Amino acid sequence: MSAPFTIAIDGPAAAGKGTISKAVAAHFGFAHLDTGLLYRAVGAKVLLGVDPARAARELTADDLAGEELRSPEVAQAASKVAVIPEVRAALRDFQRSFAQRAGGAVLDGRDIGTVICPEAEAKLFITASPEVRADRRFAELSASGAATSRAQVLADVKERDARDRNRAEAPLLPARDAVEIDTSDMSIEAAIAAAIAIIEARLP
């Protein structure tokens, strides 16, 4: 496929959107952008004392690498800087340019289908219950050796959900024409298969 074809995949933390997005991109041979990494990279710089708007304006591809971007501290910082209009504006053009690349693109985040790419050819909203998402994140953190408790992870998930859904600019919510996939009781294989089937129905 040479013409742009944009797939927008939104959803809350630990619902499975990142895993599904990577699998979808690989299946169709599309480029993939985890837009959450942009905000995590800005959040990581803010933790080092950099002004949020400046960090967003000066972001480079090299800033998106590094395991420290996956830490709980950076995740919370990312959610906090994501409510700042100047940060969102600085990152918006980068995301929209990526979405229009020839050969197709998959972008996952929290406002792709509603704000970044409202004209995307396919839109998915991946969700799961807070408890299931907390269990997944706790298992992930435990495997990496990060010291925390399941209760704390659940509290963090709910706190981030509230902040993302209630922010004034680009709150987390499904686009009107997005297809919702609830992964609470699904295997990742089943969720990926469901996503691929939905997208295939929209291919030209």
Residue 204 lies in a domain: no
Non-local (6+) Cβ contacts of 44 within 8 A are: 63, 66, 68, 69, 74, 77
Q: Does residue 124 fall inside a structural domain?
A: yes
Asked whether residue 146 is domain-assigned, the answer is yes
CA distances from 130 to 98, 121, 161 (A): 31, 29, 9
pLDDT above 90 for 145? no
The two three-digit tokens of residue 38, written as one number = 């942009």
Cα–Cα–Cα angle for 94, 96, 102, nearest 5°?
105
Extract the annotated binding site for ATP: 11-19
Q: What is the pLDDT of residue 152?
A: 93
Q: What is the pLDDT of residue 2?
A: 63
pLDDT above 70: percentage of residues in the chain: 99
- What is the model's pTM? 0.88
User: For the segment 38-68, what is each residue's pLDDT rounded down to a tens digit?
Assistant: 999 999 999 999 999 999 999 988 898 888 8
| pLDDT one-digit tens code per residue, 68-91 | 898 889 988 998 998 899 999 999
- Helices 188-200 and 17-28: crossing angle in degrees, nearest 10, is 50
pLDDT over threshold 80, residue 101: yes
Supply the range of the domain harboring residue 41: 6-199
* Structural domains counted in the chain: 1
Tell me whether residue 27 is in a domain: yes
Mean pLDDT, to the nearest integer, of 10-25?
A: 96
Mean pLDDT over the full length of the chain: 93
- Please tell me the predicted confidence (pLDDT) of residue 65: 86
Q: Is residue 100 part of a domain?
A: yes
pLDDT at residue 1, as a whole number? 57
Residue ranges of the annotated binding site are: 11-19
In CATH, what number is assigned to the domain containing residue 176?
3.40.50.300
**Does residue 1 lie within any of the structural domains?**
no
Residue pair 149/75 in contact by the 8 Å Cβ criterion: no
